[in-house]
């Protein structure tokens, strides 16, 4: 099984940078995902890491260290619309099973 | 819009009722999933279907009964639920069970009285 930890809440100012950490303990590992979920809406895919290192997609970047069981999602140039819950999920060796963390609620203030 | 729709969006039911949740995906995917999302808790995988065959039943109580008549439609039949079953039920699909990205529907907010 998977044990996935991420902070419950974070607050940041518009234009700033926020880093959301995720640690995991797994019996098997086949990739880590980040999803964004606005209140009352579907989670939407942000990023996927399977190798160590940084993946950058515009204002969002995701980092993975498999040896440390650690990932972070970096949100740059924060906008009000980035206020949402960010879900970290790990896929095990059986491919289709995603285990999710409880999510980090990010609030962006003006 | 993610290409995955769910109906109804909100449902209130008594413990003796029978109701069904419906999910439809317009993406040509072969795998579909049911998740339960409770407040402040992680998403919990309930069922996985690949090419209309169930490949995973994650120790879910029998009062939840899934049905996948074809690769585009997925149902969750509900019977004699408990108040603790109140949650957001999310449907998702992916190209295959091994594919990276899962596309989620908006969910059905279920309240059991």
pLDDT, tens only, B17-61: 899 999 999 999 999 999 999 988 899 999 999 888 888 777 899
Cross-chain Cβ contact A43/B104 below 8 Å: yes
Answer yes or no: are the C-beta atoms of B86 and B13 closer than 8 Å: no
- pLDDT in the model for residue A94: 67
**Chain B residues touching A101 at Cβ < 8 A:** 42
Beta bridge partner(s), residue A18? A75
Rg of chain B over CA atoms, in angstroms? 13
Q: Measured between CB atoms, does B103 come within 8 Å of chain A?
A: yes
- Residue B98: which of A43, A48, A95 has the nearest Cβ? A95
- pLDDT in the model for residue A95: 60
Q: Residue A25 burial (CB < 10 Å; 0-12/13-18/19+)?
A: exposed
B interface mutation test: which of A1, A28, A96, A97 has the most B CBs within 10 A?
Answer: A96
Cross-chain Cβ contact B45/A33 below 8 Å: no
A34 has pLDDT over 80? yes
- pLDDT in the model for residue B40: 81
- State pLDDT tens for residues B79-108: 999 999 999 999 999 988 776 689 999 999
CA distance A69 to A27: 11
Q: Which residue has the higher pLDDT, A8 or B96?
A: A8
CA distance A68 to A5: 13
**Chain B residues touching A100 at Cβ < 8 A:** 42-44
- pLDDT in the model for residue A62: 98
Average pLDDT of every residue of chain A: 93
- State pLDDT tens for residues A51-103: 999 999 999 999 999 999 999 999 999 999 999 999 999 988 766 678 899 99
A38 has pLDDT over 90? yes
- pLDDT in the model for residue B58: 73
**Chain A residues touching B38 at Cβ < 8 A:** none
Output the 3-class SS for A67-109: CCCEEEEEECCCCHHHCEEEEEEEECCCCCCEEECCCEEEEEE
């Amino acid at each position: 099984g998977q044990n996935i930890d991420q902070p419950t809440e974070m607050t940041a100012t518009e234009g700033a940078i926020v880093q959301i950490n995720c640690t995991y303990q797994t019996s098997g590992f086949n990739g880590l995902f980040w999803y964004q979920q606005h209140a009352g809406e579907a989670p939407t895919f942000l990023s996927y890491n399977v190798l160590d290192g940084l993946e950058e997609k515009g204002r969002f970047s995701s980092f993975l260290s498999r040896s440390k069981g650690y990932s972070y999602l970096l949100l740059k140039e924060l906008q009000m619309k980035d206020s949402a819950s960010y879900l970290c999920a790990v896929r095990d060796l059986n491919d289709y099973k995603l285990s999710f963390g409880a999510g980090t609620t990010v609030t962006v203030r003006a | 819009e993610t290409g995955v729709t769910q109906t109804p969006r909100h449902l209130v039911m008594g413990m003796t009722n029978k109701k069904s949740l419906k999910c439809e995906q317009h993406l040509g995917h072969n795998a579909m999933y049911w998740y339960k999302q409770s407040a402040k808790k992680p998403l919990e995988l309930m069922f996985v279907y690949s090419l209309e065959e169930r490949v995973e039943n994650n120790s879910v109580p029998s009062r939840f009964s899934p049905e996948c008549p074809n690769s585009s439609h997925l149902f969750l039949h509900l019977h004699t639920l408990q108040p603790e079953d109140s949650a957001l039920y999310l449907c998702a699909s992916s190209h295959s069970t091994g594919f990276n990205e899962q596309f989620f529907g908006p969910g059905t907010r279920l309240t059991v009285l």
